[in-house]
């Protein structure tokens, strides 16, 4: 494994520093001076139309960013990832989410095994299961078909499935719903099951490791809920045999640890495997997406995977100067490292993408929130951004004020589709067009702002002119697609996966481990006895934690 290149020592970094220092952002002037600016900075990846022209770039900046990518060996690192080299060095693993969407007939030998036939074997098993549930062939313990699948998982075993399920609502089979239990707050399991019929409910326990406290606790709670309800109604007898029979009909699992699945009491026949080379936050396209495959069906799921694959090919094969994920990743580096942007907004103008920003938070922040490089040495520059967002136009009436007129630079990605899921009209107005008018207006307002003279020309009293000035020059990227289909949702996810990868390569970090979440997990286990009343354990805590736990114990009824 090569050593990470310190990006700050490269000639491209020096050039970018000079370009940054010499830049006077002027999107109004730049657009006025160059009628082809939009064309020059618009790129196509798969079905995605990506306009970078409202970013704070010119041809020199873009070419220096591409040089930076060359000088940190982005292409070699990318190729190493696609080839299955162990680029996740701290866990000594290949990083092969891209293999999950390679079509049948591809071949990729990793550590002596061709992984593609294995991928398709599992996919076939997931699809066969999905068909059985969808057709009513899979029945619960009392012979009724399944109407609700409940995915129990957290992090990558939840955020991807729930986001995609929400995004693809129009593709969900009528009469079938999915729910998602993730939080160990008992409210989650209680609320999500309270109106369900156990006879028609099937739980999918999704956990890569099958050791995650939240997921295993919730799975046990769900099993208790199922058996208690079935016994109360007389649907099953008391006793272990009846319980085993009911669990076999109402629980399946997805994991890389099939031995642990069996130990939990789920028949390995009803389990779908995957591999340690799939990171949790990169796993929605593995068997972790089983709840989605059931809901939208195998054909749509296959289209979803084809969307990922189209962007994988684009990322793997397109020269960097027009490689959309690479350019977007490099732009993020430009803003984080030169403009000191600490956050990045993702603003989908598509209600069905309402969980997309939450999904991206894990993808980007668990991947790139690192302070050491993959050789263990400290990073040499800032890494990572806070990703956040809400669907437009809700965000407009909440936090856009800060983006337009606040003191921080917040680069933003705006995402919209041409064809709505629900083409409603309000009188003579096509409501989707009103919606998209907002999408177009916001990026224009952010880019071009409004000068004091323009404000005055509207007759605004002088005293409030400053408050009504919009400085403009707020960078945005506009991503458009024909419609929110399974394919395009796959394309969007793969786009951000490769953006995240590109940033990680520049910073020299391992974007595929997540040691930062471990300490809190360990401490929770240590503190649990203190919370339950063990005074000795309580005495070992710091004074703040002791007081907080004492307060809890004094208040708990």
* By the rule CB under 6 A, 281 interacts with ligand F6P: yes
Segment interacting with ligand F6P (CB under 6 A) among 80-88, 97-105, 150-158, 429-437: 150-158
Who's near 180: CB < 8 A, 6+ residues apart? 150, 151, 153, 158, 161, 162, 165, 192, 291
Parallel/antiparallel/unpaired status of strands 42-45 and 48-51: antiparallel
Contact with ligand F6P (CB under 6 A) among 182, 290, 323, 514: 514
Contact between residue 409 and residue 20 where contact means Cβ atoms under 8 Å apart: no
Cα–Cα distances in Å, from 342 out to 140, 345, 369, 498, 499? 50, 10, 12, 20, 16
Quick one: 366 or 491, whose CB is closer to ligand F6P?
366
User: What distance in Å separates the CA atoms of residue 58 and residue 56, rounded to the nearest whole number?
Assistant: 7
Place of tokens 């054909």: 299
* By the rule CB under 6 A, 208 interacts with ligand F6P: yes
CB atoms within 10 A of CB 207: 28
* By the rule CB under 6 A, 209 interacts with ligand F6P: yes
* By the rule CB under 6 A, 93 interacts with ligand F6P: no
Residue 366 appears among annotated catalytic residues: yes
What's the gap between Cα 464 and its chain centre? 42
User: What distance in Å separates the CA atoms of residue 516 and residue 84, rounded to the nearest whole number?
Assistant: 24
Parallel/antiparallel/unpaired status of strands 271-273 and 251-255: parallel
Contact between residue 438 and residue 392 where contact means Cβ atoms under 8 Å apart: yes
Residues 354-383 as x/- pattern, contact with ligand F6P by CB under 6 A: ------------x-----------------
CB 458 to ligand F6P: min, Å: 51
At residue 185, φ and ψ (nearest 5 deg) are: -55, 120
Quick one: 154 or 266, whose CB is closer to ligand F6P?
154
How many residues at the interface with ligand F6P, by CB under 6 A? 14
CB 152 to ligand F6P: min, Å: 10
Among 318, 342, 387, residue whose Cα is nearest residue 74 = 318
* By the rule CB under 6 A, 207 interacts with ligand F6P: yes
Quick one: 100 or 146, whose CB is closer to ligand F6P?
100
* By the rule CB under 6 A, 212 interacts with ligand F6P: yes
Contact with ligand F6P (CB under 6 A) among 4, 155, 161, 490: 155
Which helix or strand (DSSP H or E) is residue 352 part of? none
Segment interacting with ligand F6P (CB under 6 A) among 152-160, 163-171, 235-243, 490-498: 152-160
CB 193 to ligand F6P: min, Å: 20
* By the rule CB under 6 A, 476 interacts with ligand F6P: no
Cα–Cα distances in Å, from 108 out to 111, 125, 208, 256, 511? 10, 20, 22, 19, 22
User: Which listed residue (303, 366, 497, 503) is catalytic?
Assistant: 366
Contact between residue 277 and residue 94 where contact means Cβ atoms under 8 Å apart: yes
Torsion (CA) 118, 120, 125, 130 in degrees, nearest 10: 150
Segment interacting with ligand F6P (CB under 6 A) among 117-125, 151-159, 239-247, 490-498: 151-159
Token output for 239: 């006793």
Contact with ligand F6P (CB under 6 A) among 215, 290, 473, 541: 215
User: Which listed residue (39, 340, 397, 540) is catalytic?
Assistant: 397
Residue 521 appears among annotated catalytic residues: yes
CB 136 to ligand F6P: min, Å: 30
Segment interacting with ligand F6P (CB under 6 A) among 89-97, 155-163, 334-342, 391-399: 155-163
CB 160 to ligand F6P: min, Å: 9
Token output for 495: 């786009």
Segment interacting with ligand F6P (CB under 6 A) among 153-161, 165-173, 344-352, 483-491: 153-161
Quick one: 215 or 270, whose CB is closer to ligand F6P?
215
Residues at the contact surface with ligand F6P, assessed by CB under 6 A: 154-157, 207-209, 212, 215, 280-281, 366, 514, 517
Active site residues: 366, 397, 521
């Amino acid at each position: 494994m090569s050593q990470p290149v310190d990006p700050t020592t490269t000639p491209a970094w020096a050039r970018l520093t000079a370009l940054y220092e010499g830049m006077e952002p002027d999107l109004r002037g730049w657009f006025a001076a160059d009628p082809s600016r939009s064309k020059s900075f618009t790129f196509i990846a798969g079905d995605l139309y990506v306009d970078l022209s409202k970013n704070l770039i010119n041809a020199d900046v873009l070419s220096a960013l591409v040089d930076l990518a060359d000088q940190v060996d982005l292409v070699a690192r990318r190729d190493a990832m696609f080839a299955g080299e162990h680029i996740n060095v701290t866990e000594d693993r290949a990083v092969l989410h891209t293999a999950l969407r390679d079509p049948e007939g591809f071949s990729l030998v990793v550590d002596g095994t061709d992984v593609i036939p294995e991928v398709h074997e599992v996919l076939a098993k997931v699809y066969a299961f999905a068909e059985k549930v969808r057709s009513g062939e899979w029945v619960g313990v009392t012979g009724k078909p399944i109407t609700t699948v409940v995915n129990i998982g957290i992090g990558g075993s939840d955020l991807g499935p729930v986001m995609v399920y929400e995004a693809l609502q129009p593709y969900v089979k009528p009469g079938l719903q999915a729910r998602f239990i993730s939080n160990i707050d008992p409210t989650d399991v209680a609320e999500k099951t309270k109106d369900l019929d156990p006879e028609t409910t099937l739980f999918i326990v999704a956990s890569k490791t099958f050791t995650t406290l939240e997921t295993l606790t919730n799975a046990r709670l769900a099993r208790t809920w199922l058996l208690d309800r079935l016994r109360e109604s007389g649907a099953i007898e008391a006793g272990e045999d009846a319980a085993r029979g009911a669990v076999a009909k109402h629980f399946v699992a997805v994991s890389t640890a099939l031995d642990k699945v069996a130990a939990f009491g789920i028949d390995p026949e009803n389990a779908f495997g995957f591999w340690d080379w799939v990171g949790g936050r990169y796993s929605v396209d593995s068997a972790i997406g089983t709840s989605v495959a059931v809901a939208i069906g195998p054909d749509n799921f296959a289209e979803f995977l084809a969307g990922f694959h189209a962007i994988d090919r684009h990322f793997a094969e397109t020269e960097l100067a027009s490689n959309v994920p690479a350019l977007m990743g490099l732009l993020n580096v430009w803003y984080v490292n030169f403009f000191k942007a600490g956050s990045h907004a993702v603003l989908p103008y598509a209600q069905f993408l309402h969980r997309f920003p939450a999904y991206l938070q894990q993808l980007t922040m668990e991947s790139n929130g690192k302070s050491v490089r993959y050789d263990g040495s400290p990073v040499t520059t800032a890494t990572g951004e806070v990703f956040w967002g809400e669907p437009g136009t809700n965000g407009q009436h909440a936090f856009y004020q800060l983006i337009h007129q606040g003191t921080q630079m917040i680069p933003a990605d705006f995402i919209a589709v041409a064809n709505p899921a629900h083409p409603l009209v309000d009188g003579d107005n096509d409501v989707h067009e009103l919606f998209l008018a907002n999408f177009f207006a916001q990026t224009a307002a952010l880019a071009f702002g409004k000068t004091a003279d323009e404000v005055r020309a509207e007759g605004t009293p002088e005293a409030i002119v400053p408050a009504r000035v919009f400085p403009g020059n707020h960078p945005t990227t506009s991503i458009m697609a024909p419609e929110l289909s399974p394919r395009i949702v796959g394309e969007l996810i793969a786009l951000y996966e490769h953006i995240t990868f590109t940033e990680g390569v520049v910073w020299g970090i391992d974007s595929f481990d997540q040691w930062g979440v471990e300490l809190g997990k360990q401490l929770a286990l240590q503190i649990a006895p203190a919370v339950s009343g063990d005074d000795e354990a309580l005495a070992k805590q710091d004074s703040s934690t002791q007081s907080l736990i004492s307060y809890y114990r004094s208040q708990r009824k």
